[in-house]
Amino acid sequence: MNSPVNFTTILKDYGTDEKCRECLVRLRWPKGITCPKCDSKKISRVYERGTFDCDSCRYQFSVKAGTMFNDSHLPLTTWFYVTYVICESKKGVSANQICRMFGVSYKTAWYLCHRIRMAMLEVARPKLGGTVEIDETYVGGKKRRWRPRSDKAVVIGIRQRNGDLRMIHAEDAKSETVRQIINANVGSHVEVIVTDESAIYPWALDKMQKNLHKTINHTREYAHGDVHTNTVESAFSLLKRGIMGTWHKVSAKHLPAYLDEMCFRFNNRKNPYLFRDTLIKLLSSPHIEYKQLTKSKAA
Ligand SMILES: [Zn+2]
């Protein structure tokens, strides 16, 4: 588990549910199996059922108890393979593709993909610093001649140069909204803030940030030495290729989850243990029901 994986090692090491279960036990309890109810370490194992009995409080549990894997009728092998495929696909995977690859129903595939995406949400996101690029883009919606952006979703991208990326679905592109997003994601250790010459930013930045602000005029040039927003723009083009090519139609309600998935994959692009780390997140994320995901909040 502590060495990088590829599809061959996945099939060899996690080819049966028992192997997957053993892997989850090691990841969930690296210091020994612990009762989820009373934290006791006096545990008896019931090998034939793959469950555990707590000798202190008599609670019976499995490695899946209280995790995202709970109540799933899917074999653990399917969870492992789909997690691997999602981790490895730079532009994302659609539920339809998972349906075809693993012979599950569309509903099952959709629910599975969403739970894996939710587990990928980064729990603690440190604020960005150093040189930070900020830009906005518009995704989805229909093309209309006269009101081209009215039904499109606004996405604000913030990228620390040589560091992490954040993509946030904004209510609108007004400076007050953008100001809140910047303050939630950019720390006081920021040194340079680069944007284009959009009228949003002079209003969205506070006094300290304004002193660090540099702009690039895109009608004239794409970069002026170090002053450019190319790295956040390349993240946007990856996002657009993902939405156009893979997911086809992303509803506004689920857009934040897709953005988080893209950022997670991007920020972990040099992490050879992404598969293992995603499994750990699946174990530490609470179970979410299908009903909760499909509750119609927005379209
Ligand atoms: Zn117990």
List average pLDDT for each run of 10 residues in the chain, which is 299 residues long.
Answer: 84 95 95 93 87 95 90 91 88 88 94 84 76 91 58 90 93 94 95 93 94 85 78 87 70 80 83 88 82 61
Collect all residues with Cβ–Cβ distance below 8 Å to 113 and sequence separation of at least 6. 82, 86, 93, 95, 98
pLDDT computed for residue 203 by the predictor:
93
Between the CA of 36 and the centroid of ligand 1 the distance, in Å, is: 7
Between the CA of 274 and the centroid of ligand 1 the distance, in Å, is: 32
Between the CA of 57 and the centroid of ligand 1 the distance, in Å, is: 4
Between the CA of 67 and the centroid of ligand 1 the distance, in Å, is: 17
Between the CA of 51 and the centroid of ligand 1 the distance, in Å, is: 13
Which strand (E) or helix (H) includes residue 191? strand 186-196
Between the CA of 38 and the centroid of ligand 1 the distance, in Å, is: 4
pLDDT computed for residue 40 by the predictor:
95
Between the CA of 54 and the centroid of ligand 1 the distance, in Å, is: 5
> Which string of b and e fits 42-77 if b means at least 16 CB within 10 Å?
ebeeeeeebebbbeeeebebbbbbbbbbeebeeebb
**8 A C-beta contact, residue 170 and residue 163:** no
Between the CA of 273 and the centroid of ligand 1 the distance, in Å, is: 32
Residue 299: CB atoms within 10 Å:
7
Between the CA of 4 and the centroid of ligand 1 the distance, in Å, is: 35
pLDDT computed for residue 147 by the predictor:
56
Between the CA of 52 and the centroid of ligand 1 the distance, in Å, is: 10
Between the CA of 70 and the centroid of ligand 1 the distance, in Å, is: 18
Between the CA of 277 and the centroid of ligand 1 the distance, in Å, is: 27
Cα–Cα distance for residue pair 157/135, rounded to 1 Å: 5
Q: What residues are neighbours of ligand 1 (ion), with CB under 5 Å?
A: 35, 37-38, 40, 54, 56-57, 59
DSSP for 118-156, written as a single string: HHHS-SS-PPEEEEEEEEEEEESS---SS-TTTTPEEEE
Between the CA of 287 and the centroid of ligand 1 the distance, in Å, is: 20
Which of 254, 277, 253, 252 minimizes the C-alpha distance to 264? Answer: 277
Which of 71, 83, 74 minimizes the C-alpha distance to 27? Answer: 83
